Structure 1
Amino acid sequence: MARGLTAMLADYPDRITVVALASVYGKAKGIDVILYDSHGLHRSEGADLDHLIQKTDAKVIIYSRDMRPDLRARALARGADGWVSMSKHAPELVDTIERAGDGKRPEEQVDWIGQEAGLSPREVEVLALVTQGMSNQEIADRLFLTINTLKSHIRQAYKKIGVSSRAQAVAWCMQHGFAPPDPKGPVAE
């Protein structure tokens, strides 16, 4: 992906400088914005994203596939500063990066999965994991929540989407763009 972004943004050397990820693992001095591929949350437990959010001064923007809004929601719930779709063309991506560098949220930030139902990013993250087939205890452990806090998030989410059971919640999620359950079982990260 880095090579593709570098090539895509090569026409904007006066506005954007692309650096390798290894350069940002220190204090990210001189780096204003980091684009993080949301697929990284599918491949790992998100420690790399947590590091970028907590240990750098850069704005962390999720670079997200439109087909995985659940991963985008998980990243936003972890504290990312916003997101941009991978379907954006170079001029739009450059504008988004510059906005983030200026301290403004990307315009797409207002369009997260579940927004029409009033779901918070954390509620979306919980529902995404429910949809993936995880148990309440697995979700609580993954999100570092007590089981009671998790149940509170679930109750609030169910109320907002108008369902009363886990099966209804999964059906609602599937109809509203959440990723389908992995046929191999719950996601192990």
Structure 2
Amino acid sequence: MTRPAARPITVALVDDYDVVLLGVAHMFERYRDRVAIVELDTNEPVADTVDIVLYDSFAQPESDHDEIAVLVKNPHAHRVVVYTWNFHPDLIASARRQGAHGYLSKTMTARDLVAALEAVHAGETVISDPPGRPRSAPGLDWPGRREGLTDREAEILALITQGKSNAEVANLTYLSPNTIKSYIRVIYRKIDVSSRTQAVLWGVKHGFTPDHQRIEMWRDPR
């Protein structure tokens, strides 16, 4: 077991949805002596070097790992860790090729997540075991959670709200088209809509469009 660092590890959270970031930050509150969340101004370039960038993949195009490469190349990020529920082998392999130092599951408890980040900080590459249950760790948040949507359902609705077709959603999430159709039927029932247009309007109204494009501030390290 990796021992806690002498000082808190500085962690920058990267995700375009404020509610997601706040949920992740909330998980670390009990561990402020070990992990310090860096608050970044989304309108300013990165100025301070951080120990770890934690890239939450919620509603991000996971088959396009440009985001990971951007973070890895930025000199202000010592190490980059992906935080996700999607453990398709191709996604893990791609993240590792891009230089990610960790690939962690959203089913991890806060305690285990902190320990994993400390291990990454100490120089280890940490890849979580594929999650065996669908539930995310307590404390996480995402758009639609209060309306009864799971994080996977919310991610799919977010991609639909962004204008993605079923085929594109399947490709981005590494799920089969039939699985996407099944998710959409459940989503429609939960949010009480009967068409894609209604679902998109509901998504726009309930926070399923990105708040920011946080990756942009990591693109130019100069």
TM-score normalised to structure 2 length: 0.44
1:64-116 alpha-carbon deviations (Å, 9 max, x no partner): 11xx22374232332211211001011001101111111112252xx57xxxx
| Identity within the alignment, % | 24
For 2:72, the equivalent position in structure 1 comes to 53
Which of 70, 76, 79 matches 2:99?
Answer: 79
1:69 aligns with 2:65: no
Structure 1, unmatched stretches of 5+, are 113-131, 135-177, 184-189
Instruction: Check conservation: 1:84, 1:106, Cα contact below 8 A.
Output: yes
Instruction: Check conservation: 1:38, 1:75, Cα contact below 8 A.
Output: no
Change (3 A) 1:36 1:2: same
Larger relative helix fraction: 1
1:97 aligns with 2:93: no
Larger relative strand fraction: 2
SS in structure 1 at match of 2:38: coil
For 1:141, the equivalent position in structure 2 comes to none
Instruction: Check conservation: 1:2, 1:20, Cα contact below 8 A.
Output: no
Amino acid at match of 1:51: V
Instruction: Check conservation: 2:63, 2:91, Cα contact below 8 A.
Output: no
SS in structure 1 at match of 2:25: helix
1:4-15 alignment, distance < 5 Å: 4-15=23-34
Provide the aligned length of Structure 1 versus Structure 2: 119
Structure 2, unmatched stretches of 5+, are 1-19, 131-165, 169-173, 182-222
SS in structure 1 at match of 2:104: strand
1:38 aligns with 2:62: no
Moved segments of 4+, more than 4 Å: 21-25
2: CA distance, partners of 1:16 / 1:64: 19
For 2:175, the equivalent position in structure 1 comes to 179
Change (3 A) 1:19 1:42: same
RMSD: 3.5
1:3 aligns with 2:25: no
2: CA distance, partners of 1:48 / 1:58: 15
Change (3 A) 1:88 1:19: same
